Amino acid sequence: MDLKQSTLDKIDQLVPRYPDMRSAALPLCHLVQEDLGYLSNESIEWIAKRLELEPINISEIVTFYPMLKTAAPGRYQVRVCRTLSCALAGAYKTCKQFEEAFDCKVGSTSDDGLVSLEYVECHADCGRAPVVMVGEKEYTGVKTDEANELIEKIKSGTVETE
Amino acid sequence: MAIEEKRLILKYADQEGYTNDIDCYIKHGGYEALKKGFQMKPEDICQEVLDSGVRGRGGAGFPAGMKWKFLDRKSGKPIYLICNADESEPGTFKDRQIIHKDPHQLIEGMLCSAYAIQAKLAFIYIRGEFFEGYKILERAIEEARAKNFLGDNILGSDYSCDIIVHRGAGAYICGEETGLIESLEGKRANPRIKPPYFPAALGLYQCPTIVNNVETLCDVKHVITMGSKEFANIGTPGNTGTRIWCVSGHVQKPGYYEFPCAGVTLGELIYDVCGGLLPGRKLKAVIPGGSSSKILRADERFKGKKKDGTEFDWGIEDIPMDFDSLSLVGSMSGSGGVIIMDDSTDMVEALANINYFYAHESCGQCTPCREGVPWMKKITTRMCSGGAREEDVDLLKSIADQIEGRTICAFGEAASWPVQSFIAKFKDEFEAKAKEQALLRKQGEDTAKETSLI
Ligand SMILES: Cc1cc2nc3c(=O)[nH]c(=O)nc-3n(C[C@H](O)[C@H](O)[C@H](O)COP(=O)(O)O)c2cc1C
Ligand code: SF4
Ligand code: FES
């Protein structure tokens, strides 16, 4: 396990704050995933050991929560909200634009590894629909033109992700 | 614009020059409620919250003071406070505003509440996708700690309390309070059965726990500042305080708007506040309280008797926006997410969209929910892709009817109500779709049409 020192420090600070160590399971998954990109079996075992749990205790949450990934995603993670308010504002059309531009079906990673495209459910910003996240950065009102702009920025590597 | 907002919770949030740091908050009178609270006995604050009549803003509208009363104080176990910042009910985006623009208001509301119920540790369970909100809250907590509004022996009161911000990871069911608690314990967010697992008795780590929504906890701050009487003067009896309505969908100016309960009608909200529908369009339907709440049809008349015995006879535009009125018309104010649909909306597609959501989010513990909800999704998706059958309407209704009331948590209802209400109000459209496709099939034509909502 090759975690950054800063990740290890955060973990050491965080764990003792909880009355029960197991509560730190989800936060640790986040921290390790942020550092390494996804949660490998090795990571899962490491987290389990750190919290004095069995690997299955971590596996069961990794397979439950959609944000936790067990495979390396593309360089850019594009999440398109497809829930009702965004759909009413054209989210499905926006998503098709992304699919075509990156030759990547929603739910997969493009062959060149540039983007992982996925549908997500309501991101609690429905007043500014359609909502798209690129990495940790939220983009709102992503209709046809805005989507094209975003696509260009992703292709040229100039898109902001946080 | 005829109707003016009256902001209490979001009073400063969008004011020019208002920033989300602690200095700005203090300059605007911040943390005075906490100081005032410390002059009071915890049980007196609880009484004030009860007297204020403030009802939960997270969905069910349960009176906060009553919930606090149910706390098991005899067990001797530690008491926990949890702020539900999972904000995942489709159509809702109010907690986001508070967290991003006025995080200290939430922290102050939480500390007032924690002191009142005598919790020494509090949590903010924030949905995982709020990356920025999480950072803002973490920073705000450190600012508050530095000024001793939080931590040990707060402001020399002998009372200590810490707040941990805990991130979710993309599962809607973490919004359900017992699912949230399981998640906070490091497990899958499988809701617990009530009874016996009412959080106020057996919550986090099997200890008495209060779970309240972000907006509810902010209200507590204002109850302390204003006193319960003045707070209860806002709105109407039984529907006190303000509410933030999150309007989305087919209106000119979607957004969040705060009004006293019953201070605005649905018609005023759509036409005056949100600038009306898009050009050339007519209102078709409204989902008034997040996607789980029952849909209202634009040409319905709502008649009946109020609690006080007076009769009402409303069109959709006349409905006062408050807890009781929306339940009188057979729906609910829920989380305040008002979704507007105009006459361009295909109701079968809209339901298919909603069913997709619930099928994705079922935690899978209860058979009726795990099997029934994806089944309903399968049917509505098939209807939209050209395979509608005449018997689909009855089948959908029978599945929904068999889920409701037969599950561990209220997700079962949340997933059934849209199906039941869409069919009750728009049966004609579901049947028409099946007929239209049957005709096309007979003529040997393609039955699949381009869809936009699924
Ligand atoms: C399926 C489901 C999802 C829920 N999602 C949320 C949510 O995202 N945010 C929230 O505050 N309450 C949500 N609730 C309501 C909570 O269970 C709980 O009642 C609420 O947080 C209590 O706070 P309040 O009394 O202040 O409203 C949900 C309930 C159910 C059944
Ligand atoms: S009703 Fe659905 S979400 Fe709730 S506990 Fe049962 S399976 Fe899980
Ligand atoms: S529906 Fe997309 S943000 Fe709510």
Ligand 2 in contact with B416 (CB < 6 A)?
A: no
C-alpha of B376 from chain center: 24
User: To the nearest whole number, what is the mean pLDDT of chain A?
Assistant: 97
Give the position of tokens 């069995």: A54
In contact, B351 and B418? CB cutoff 8 Å: yes
Tell me how crowded residue B58 is: count the other CB atoms within 10 A of its CB. 27
Q: Looking at the domain assignment, is residue B364 inside a domain?
A: yes
The CA B173 to ligand 1 mean position distance, Å, reads 9
Distance CA B164, CA B394 (A): 48
Pocket test for ligand 1, best of B49, B50, B70, B89 (most atoms within 8 A of CB): B89
Same domain as B269, residue B132: no
Q: Which atom of ligand 3 is nearest to the CA of A84?
A: 1
Q: Is any Cβ of chain A less than 8 angstroms from the Cβ of B106?
A: no
Same domain as B384, residue B304: no
Q: Looking at the domain assignment, is residue B11 inside a domain?
A: no
Boundary-marking domain end, from B172, B199, B233: B233
Helices and strands counted in chain A (H then E): 7, 5
Number of domains chain B is built from: 3
Same domain as B210, residue B123: yes
**For position A161, what pLDDT does the model report?**
95
Mean of pLDDT values over B431-441: 96
The pLDDT tens digits for B365-382 are 999 999 999 999 999 999
The CA B185 to ligand 2 mean position distance, Å, reads 18
In contact, B262 and B306? CB cutoff 8 Å: no
The CA B351 to ligand 3 mean position distance, Å, reads 15
C-alpha of B85 from chain center: 10
Task: Name the least confident of A56-60, B54-58, B418-422, B445-449.
Answer: B445-449
Which residue of A22, A60, A121 is in closest CB contact with B172? A121
Same domain as B200, residue B97: yes
Same domain as B358, residue B389: yes
In contact, A84 and B291? CB cutoff 8 Å: yes
User: To the nearest whole number, what is the mean pLDDT of chain B?
Assistant: 97
Same domain as B162, residue B207: yes
Residue of the nearest CA to atom 25 in ligand 1? Answer: B56
Three-state DSSP class for B343? coil
Chain B residues closer than 8 Å to A133 by CB = 129
Q: Looking at the domain assignment, is residue B8 inside a domain?
A: no
Boundary-marking domain end, from B211, B233, B255: B233
Q: Among residues A88, A96, A100, A74, which one has the least CA distance to residue A127? A: A88
Cα pseudo-dihedral B317, B319, B321, B322, rounded to 10: -170
Q: Looking at the domain assignment, is residue B3 inside a domain?
A: no
Q: Among residues A95, A73, A79, which one has the least CA distance to residue A133? A: A79
The angle, 0 to 180 degrees and rounded to 10, between the axes of the packed helices B367-384 and B411-442 is 30
As given in the structure block, the two tokens for residue B182 are 């399981």
More confident residue, B1 or B304: B304
Distance CA B361, CA B357 (A): 6
B186–A51 C-beta distance less than 8 A: yes
Ligand 1 in contact with B411 (CB < 6 A)?
A: yes
Ligand 1 in contact with B357 (CB < 6 A)?
A: no
Ligand 2 in contact with B50 (CB < 6 A)?
A: no
Chain A residues closer than 8 Å to B356 by CB = 82
Q: Looking at the domain assignment, is residue B452 inside a domain?
A: no
B170–A126 C-beta distance less than 8 A: no
pLDDT for residue B1 is more than 60: no
Mean of pLDDT values over B28-34: 98
**For position B2, what pLDDT does the model report?**
65
Separation in Å, CA B281 to CA B301, B342, B344, B432, B433: 21, 6, 8, 22, 22
The pLDDT tens digits for B105-123 are 999 999 999 999 999 999 9
How far B194 CA lies from chain A's nearest CA (Å)?
Answer: 22
The pLDDT tens digits for B61-100 are 999 999 999 999 999 999 999 999 999 999 999 999 999 9
Distance CA A63, CA A159 (A): 30
The pLDDT tens digits for B393-434 are 999 999 999 999 999 999 999 999 999 999 999 999 999 999
Q: Which of residues 161-200 of B touch A (CB under 8 A)?
A: 162, 164, 166-172, 183-189
The pLDDT tens digits for B336-364 are 999 999 999 999 999 999 999 999 999 99
Residue B255's closest chain A neighbor by CA?
A: A127
CATH class, A76-156 region? alpha beta
Residue A66's closest chain B neighbor by CA?
A: B170
The CA A76 to ligand 2 mean position distance, Å, reads 33
Same domain as B214, residue B165: yes
The pLDDT tens digits for A68-83 are 999 999 999 999 999 9
Chain A residues closer than 8 Å to B249 by CB = 84-85, 88-89, 126
Question: Which strands make up the sheet holding A132-134, listed edge to edge?
Answer: A108-109, A115-120, A76-81, A132-134, A137-139
Distance CA B11, CA B239 (A): 20
Chain B residues closer than 8 Å to A30 by CB = 128, 167, 169
Residue A25's closest chain B neighbor by CA?
A: B186
Same domain as B95, residue B227: yes
The CA B364 to ligand 2 mean position distance, Å, reads 6
Q: Looking at the domain assignment, is residue B10 inside a domain?
A: no
B353–A83 C-beta distance less than 8 A: yes
Domain ranges of chain A: 5-64, 76-156
B164–A18 C-beta distance less than 8 A: yes
CATH number of the domain to which B265 belongs: 3.10.20.600
pLDDT for residue B245 is more than 90: yes
Which residue of B127, B184, B339 is in closest CB contact with A85? B339
Same domain as B381, residue B363: yes
Instruction: Name the closest ligand to CA B181.
Output: 1
How far B307 CA lies from chain A's nearest CA (Å)?
Answer: 33
**For position A1, what pLDDT does the model report?**
84
**For position B3, what pLDDT does the model report?**
86
Task: Name the least confident of B2-6, B93-97, B143-147.
Answer: B2-6
Question: What length is written for chain B?
Answer: 454
A85–B188 C-beta distance less than 8 A: no
**For position B397, what pLDDT does the model report?**
98
pLDDT for residue B289 is more than 60: yes
* This prediction's pTM: 0.97
CATH number of the domain to which B412 belongs: 1.20.1440.230
Same fold, A5-64 and A76-156: no
Distance CA B171, CA B373 (A): 16
Q: Which of A85, A123, A128 to mutate to test the interface with B (most CBs of B within 10 A)?
A: A85
Q: Looking at the domain assignment, is residue B431 inside a domain?
A: yes
Same domain as B175, residue B251: no
The CA B370 to ligand 2 mean position distance, Å, reads 7
Distance CA B420, CA B427 (A): 10
The pLDDT tens digits for B41-67 are 999 999 999 999 999 999 999 999 999
CATH class, A5-64 region? mainly alpha
Same domain as B196, residue B61: yes
Mean of pLDDT values over B128-143: 98
Question: Residue B399 belongs to what domain range?
Answer: 347-446
Q: Is any Cβ of chain B less than 8 angstroms from the Cβ of A17?
A: yes
Which residue of A18, A30, A85 is in closest CB contact with B248? A85
Three-state DSSP class for B432? helix
Boundary-marking domain end, from B285, B313, B342: B342
Q: Which atom of ligand 1 is nearest to the CA of B62?
A: 25
Q: Is any Cβ of chain B less than 8 angstroms from the Cβ of A26?
A: yes
pLDDT for residue B196 is more than 60: yes
How far B212 CA lies from chain A's nearest CA (Å)?
Answer: 18
Q: Looking at the domain assignment, is residue B292 inside a domain?
A: yes
Chain A residues closer than 8 Å to B78 by CB = 19
Chain B residues closer than 8 Å to A122 by CB = 88-92, 291, 357
Same domain as B201, residue B52: yes
